[in-house]
Structures are given as C-alpha cells and as structure tokens.
Amino acid sequence: MQIYDELVARGLIAQVTDEKEIRDLVNNGKATFYIGFDPTADSLHVGHFMALCLMKRLQQAGNKPIALIGGGTAMIGDPSGRTDMRQMMTRETIQHNCDCFKKQMSRFIDFSDDKALMVNNADWLLDLNYVDVLREVGAHFSVNRMLTAECYKQRMERGLSFLEFNYMIMQSYDFYALYQKYGCNMQFGGDDQWSNMLGGTELIRRKLGKDAYAMTITLLLNSEGKKMGKTQSGAVWLDPNKTSPFDFYQYWRNVADADVLKCLRMLTFLPLEQIDEMDKWEGSQLNQAKEILAYELTALVHGEEEAKKAQEGARALFSMGNAEHMPTAELSDEDFTEDAIDIVSLLHKSGLANTRSEGRRAVEQGGVTADGEKITDPKATLAKEKFEGDGIIVKKGKKNFRKVVLK
C-alpha cells in the first residue's frame, strides 16, 4: 500500500485540491510540504498531534516537511474557530514559544542533513512594506469572497477587526514565500484552515502561474463530535512539565470504547492489518487496545522508558501492588498542623483537586479514598506518620490518584 492510500485508509484526509496530482507527488516522494504552527503557548498539545504524525509519515515516504512557526502571524491571531479576538503577544513571548516547539517537534521529525526544515514566517512578514503588500498581494484577493469563508462568517456577528481580516492574506503569502524560497508545492492543515489554504494556492497561480496543492487533515473528534485533547483541567500538552507522561498515558488509556480503534488508526504507526484485527475485539479486549494506544503514543512523545513507567504506574493503580511508578506528590512539615493534615488540604496540595472547594465536593460525594479506605467527612484528618516511608495512596474518583509522601 502506497502512502496516499494508507492516509485514506487511516481516515486522515478530509479535503484535497487535486487528488490525482497530490497522490502522485506524495507516493513518489516529490512533495515539499508545509504545516503551520502558531506559537500561542509554550508547548504543543494533542490538537497538534495529527499534524506531527502526518509529517512523520510523509517524511518516512521520502517527502520533505517544512515546519512553519507562525512568529509573524501570531502577532495578528487566527480568527478560525474563535468568537472573540485573540490576545496579542510580545515578540519575546513568541520567540520563547518557538524555541519550545523546536525541541518537541524533533521527536517526530528528522531535521538532520536537510531532510526537513523549520522556518519562522516572521523572517519575511515583519519586513514587508504595507503599500507593497496592498499593491502586490491585496489586489489578488476579493473581499466578497473572503467574507464567505467559514472562519470569518463566525466572527461577523460579533465584529471582526481589520487586523484579523488580514490573517488569510498573511497565511496565503506564507505559501507564496515558501514556494519561491524552498520549492514548497503543498500545504497541509486542519480542516478549519481550508479557506486560508485555497487563498495560498490561488495567490501562487496568479502571481507565478504555477500549480500548488492543499490537503486538509481530519479533525480529531470523539464519538460525541467533540475535539479530543481536552480534560476538565485543560489541554493535554506534549511538554512533560505541563502534562506528565503518566497523565498523558492515562488520557489515552481512558478514551471511550467507541474511539479507541479510530485513534489507533489515525495516530499510531502500528500496521493497519494489526489494527483491523482489533475490530473484532469486545469487552475486556478493548481495554487491551486502550493500553496499546496509550503506550504507543506515550512512547512516541516521551520515549519508551517513560511509556513503560506510565504503564506500570497505571497497572499499579488497579492492582495496588508495585507503586514505584505512580505519580507522586510530596508534603513538607509546613503542610501539617499539629502533626496532621485534613483530607481537603491533602487533595489540594497533592494536585488531585485544583481548588479546596473541588476537593470538598469530591469527599462529600464519596469519591475519595486514602490507602483503600473511603473518606466522606471533609473535616477528617490523617496523621503525619502515615506519610513517612512509602507514604499512602490517595484516590479521587476511579482514575485519579497519587502516592503522597513526606519529604
């Protein structure tokens, strides 16, 4: 099976501008393609996962990826999927976020020996002359047509700033600049970027008389139609300091039965034949499929060693056996009052509850245990001596737990 057919079989392709040409380019390793990443945070997250995996697959098939960091466009802000205007960031913040992205992307993409490039659109966008842009680029865009784009429609009701209105022109200019500088002939992106991507192919055609192509990636949605990669406490990050390898593993281990096979197809590099066999799996076998999914993705992002630790920690949760790799929280002497700590403070300080009120609710609802003993009184206290040595295991709900020890 050639790479294009594999992408189709894995359910990764949403829309393409010219299927015959794109199929030929990627199957024969002739595509120099780019995917843009706006550095709006200091870490990539699960929402970027599809794009990173696609870049890895296409590079393995002989194509050349360009990771475009949107240092320039981040100073405008993408209106796609937004009902409000994004907060503008300083150049220093954007540069810091770009540096963080580079480190994380290197786990997916091989940048050695010019096999891939990482460029920042600030290098050309920030030096553009406004009048030149209006004359050379703006003349090729129809305002009427731009306003029919889905990303602008959603904002028209509440008000769209002229700043954001320029985003499509800037993204289109990126494709035009990359085509000229690096021979980039293809752009990939999320399905919500379709209008912006078509703007780029059209600009190249009008300015250079050349063909360029666009393909959108299927959005990662769960069986309820909601974007995956979010938890109650926020995004699932690829940075281990923002989402620990264990929590990352647990996120995928806890996906719904209806979503596990789709995630295996779209996100892992397991052979399709192996995943097709799992289509027949039911009941407890689906838990095994979730373990495979969680392990594969954690290994991809954090390495085999961290994946093994996370898997052992997750299994320890259910067996209450070896707790060596459980996520651990440390308490200091200052956390205790008269050599004891109340259960609500314990939940808060261990990170199992974001606020004291959240911790109190969990206790009152009967969802908290300490070393296997259910605690239903928010005023209950635990003696300091319990946390010495190996400490105790505190659980909130079925899937959140910590080994809590005294420093």
pLDDT tens-place string over residues 201-235: 999 999 999 999 999 999 888 888 888 886 655 78
| pLDDT at res. 320 | 54
Residue 169's closest CA among 144, 135, 200?
200
pLDDT in tens, 47-63: 888 899 999 999 999 99
Confidence bin at 397 (pLDDT 50/70/90): confident
Would you kindly state where each structural domain of the chain is located, as residue ranges? 3-217, 230-319, 328-406
pLDDT in tens, 77-104: 544 444 444 566 777 888 888 888 888 9
Which helix (DSSP H) or strand (DSSP E) does residue 65 occupy? strand 64-69
What's the whole-model pTM score? 0.75
What 3-state class would DSSP assign to 148? coil
Does the structural domain 3-217 have CATH classification 3.40.50.10470? no
Q: What are the DSSP E strand ranges found in 87-164?
A: 117-120
> Token pair 């047509």 is at which residue?
145
Instruction: Please say if the pLDDT value at position 322 is more than 70.
Output: no
If one compares 80 and 36, the residue with the highest pLDDT of the two is 36
Alpha helices in 159-303 (DSSP H): 162-165, 167-182, 194-208, 245-253, 257-267, 272-278, 284-302
| pLDDT at res. 35 | 96
Average pLDDT over residues 132-152: 83
> Token pair 């460029």 is at which residue?
119
> Token pair 């405008």 is at which residue?
76
Decide which of 1.10.10.10, 3.40.50.9100, 3.10.290.10, 3.40.50.960 is the CATH code for 328-406: 3.10.290.10
Q: How many angstroms separate the first and last alpha carbons of the chain?
A: 55
Residue 71's closest CA among 28, 112, 100?
100
CATH number of 230-319: 1.10.240.10
Q: At what angle do helices 167-182 and 194-208 cross, to 10 degrees?
A: 50
pLDDT in tens, 227-253: 888 665 578 899 998 888 988 998 898
Distance of alpha carbon 31 from the chain centroid: 24
pLDDT in tens, 250-303: 889 888 899 999 999 999 999 999 999 999 998 889 989 999 999 999 999 999
Instruction: Please say if the pLDDT value at position 318 is more than 70.
Output: no
